[in-house]
Structure formats: structure tokens, C-alpha cells
Amino acid sequence: MGSLAEARKGNIWTIVAHYGLQLVLFSIRFADSSYFLGWQEYEKNPYDEVKNPKGIIQMGLAENQLCFDLLESWLAKNPDAVSFKREEQSIFKELALFQDYHGLPAFKKALVDFMAEIRGNKVSFDTDHLVLTAGATSANETLMFCLAEKGDAILLPTPYYPGFDRDLKWRTGAEIVPIQCSSSNGFQITESALEAAYQEAQRKNLRVKGVLVTNPSNPLGTTMSRNELDLLVNFVTDKEIHLISDEIYSGTVFSSPAFVSIMEVLKDRKLENTQVWERVHVVYSLSKDLGLPGFRVVSSQTQYLLSAMLSDRKFTKEYISKNHKRLQKRQNKLVSGLEKAGISCLESNAGLFCWVDMRHLLSSNTFEAEMELWKRIVYDVKLNISPGSSCHCTEPGWFRVCFANMSEDTLKLAMQRLKSFVSSITIDNQTHQDLKNMRKKNRTKWVFRLSFQSFHDREQGER
């Protein structure tokens, strides 16, 4: 098959066929990722409280389902927005016909105001600099197409969202070079790790075009410190490269420290109207904060509905507050359930998941042992969680576990299953250790008896 450039010389069907082949290659390539394999296993045997109570519980999906009642309550109180009316007059035809492809002005204004509200109104956004896409995935890929190509690289701190291997590299031809972070400092970015990643890219003859971070972090569930953000700004300034701050989880920060947007750092450092300002890009979506991943804001109908919802400042204030409280309560239940099973987590304050430490459950300190443990959890315990290796974590034994995409009862059941599993491992390990100790004790007695018998025989011989 020829290149895409060659395909473009033909007709539209040639291009579709070319992409069709890439879709097949994509399916084959990413089927080997444990992150996607876990999803496949869940889809074969999904848990249902009534229909399939012994099925796999989905804990690998970062989805916020805790505040649907608030959304549905607003929809019930605002029937005009739902039925596409303005002052009780239908505007369906108006919305169905051609609209500005930059987006409805009312929606863009409501969106930037909501983004500012989430950030404590410490920063503001310009609607003229807002580009709408069908989700954050599309936004990140579009940025890659704009900034990089084959032979170029983007630096990403580990651990990172497994989907980035697909979103950033698949069609763009760009490469990802990891910024290696460790548990020794809570997986925070350091200056030495940044420089090491940059040098590694150069050794591979890759041109570094930028750094991409998720803040709050997926999969860590933590917000970046001001020191880390300052470090990043200094680094991209020195290297004259771009910085992409994926802030899709910015509205999920439920406890201190507070979320600090990269925009706030730039503003505090008075970097507006500088080259650095022009090379910083913020990615945001309503899919995590509002729990609306199915609402792709590329249609005028969706934009009209959401502009009405987000313009209701009383509603957004109440929603943000209750969302934070419910996320914190649910995260506490997960952490408590894990603690009862003898498992700890990285201390977190944001996101829809926890970064869970199961290193003590590994049979050895290897990624092979991590995969063995992961398979037992998926196939035997029937919980789909994401292993750290799928997130490019440098240390085996860490797992991302989601908590906001299920009912409280389902989470309770998941913790019961995990506790029983850990108890069985503990018993097995104890039994194994007891056997080893018994063998060692018997071996010691046997050696002692043999030595004593040998000494006795020599004594008899000398007499």
C-alpha cells in the first residue's frame, strides 16, 4: 500500500481504503495492550446485578456517573433547551441549517466562563482562541498533526494514559519519549528527568517538538505542583518547544492542594504576549467534569443545549460543589475498601481513579509478575483494572482503579471480591512459607543428625 500522499492523488475511495487498512493495523497493534485487552474481556462478560452477577466489574473506565441526577433535574426544569426552543418557539430549523463552523458564539462564551469558574476565576480564556473538536482525543491528535510528524517526538511523564500511544502516534507518525518518574517522590516531574528524556530523544535522532502533561494526572489522580509547572515553563522556554496541558480532569479536584492551571502560571509570570504564551496549548472537555463523553460538541444542537446549561450560573456552581463532594466520598470508599484488603494507594486529590500499590502481592519484582497478577484479577476476581505497565510505569505492581463509573453497591462488591482474593494469596503465601520453613528445619535436623552420626562413627573408630 502506498503512502497517504500517494493516496491523495487518487479519488476519495482510495483515501478511504488507505485509512481502512490503517484501522485494521490499529486493531491488531493495540490488541496486545493489557489496557485494551481488559476492556475486551469485560465486554465479553460484563457484570450486571441481576442478569450477570458473577460477571466482570468494569474498573478500567474513567467515567463520571455520580451526578446524572443533577443533570437530569436541570433538563426536566428546562424543557425549552431539550426541545430546541427559544421563548417557546421552535428553533430546530435554525439549528439544523448551516452554522458557523467555529462553533455557536453562545456556546463558546458559556464554555470559557465554565472553564474559568472551575479554575476559581483566576484565569480567563479567549473565545477567538478556542477550537472545538469531537472530544479531547481529537484535540490531542489535531495538535500532534499541527506540531509534529515522522521523525519528531513529544515528551510525556510516566505513568501516562495508555490511549496516548494510539491518539498521538497512530496516524501522525510522531513518537513518544517518556519522562521517567518514580514513586520515590510521588511520581513528580524533576529537572533531571526532563533533561534525560530530551537527551534520549536526541540519541534516537528525534526532534523534540514539545511536552504533553495531564493535569490533574491520569492515572495518578494528583494535581501538579506549582514547582513542577514552573519547571515545565522554564524547560519549554529554554528548548523553544511547545507545551500541551491536558486539563480534562480540572473539575474533578475534590481536596487540597487546589488545581493550578498552566494558564495561571503564565499569567502570574506575566508571560502574556510572549513566544512562550503562543507555544502553550490547553486541552479541555466536558466528558469527565460533567460526565458527558457521549456529547460531542460539534453539532449545533448539542452546543445549543449545553450553552443553556452552562450559562445557568446557579446550576454550575451547585453542580461543581456537589460533584467535588461526591467524588471525594466515593474515593474515600475505594481507599477504605482497599485498606481493609491490605492495599494502599498513592495519596490523591483529583480524578476518577486511584493509583493503587499492589507491589507486595507480586511473586517477584518484575513486569511478568505484574501481568500474572493482573490476569488473576481480571479472570478469577473478575475486576477489570489497568496494570501500570500499560501506563508505561517504570515500577511493576502499580494499577489504576476507577471508582466513579459504578454504583456504590457495585464498588462494595468489587472490594469484597478483592479482599477475598488478597486473603487467599496471603494464605497461599503463608502456607508456602510454612512449607519452606519446615523443609529448612527438617534439612537442618537431617544435616545435624548426619554430622552427629559421622562424628560418632569416627569416635568409635579411634577407640
Active site members: 161, 246, 248, 288
Containing H/E element for 375?
helix 367-376
DSSP 3-state assignment of 157?
strand
Q: Which residues are within 8 A (CB) of 296 and not within 5 positions of it... i.e. 6 or more apart?
A: 134, 135, 302
The span from the CA of 178 to the CA of 56, in Å, is 32
**Cα 76–Cα 110–Cα 270 angle in degrees, nearest 5:** 150
**Which single residue is written with the C-alpha cell 508456602?**
432
Answer left, alpha or beta for residue 312, where phi above 0 means left and psi between -120 and 50 means alpha: beta
Q: Which three cell numbers stand for residue 49?
A: 446485578
Name which of 452, 451, 382, 429 is nearest 54 in CA terms.
Answer: 382
Q: Which three cell numbers stand for residue 95?
A: 439549528
Cell of 249: 480532569
- Sign of the CA dihedral running 332, 213, 43, 142: positive
Distance, in Å, from the CA atom of 60 to the CA atom of 47, rounded to the nearest integer, reads 13
Phi, psi dihedrals of residue 89, rounded to the nearest 5°: -105, 135
253: Cα separation from own chain's centroid: 14
**Total residues belonging to the chain:** 463
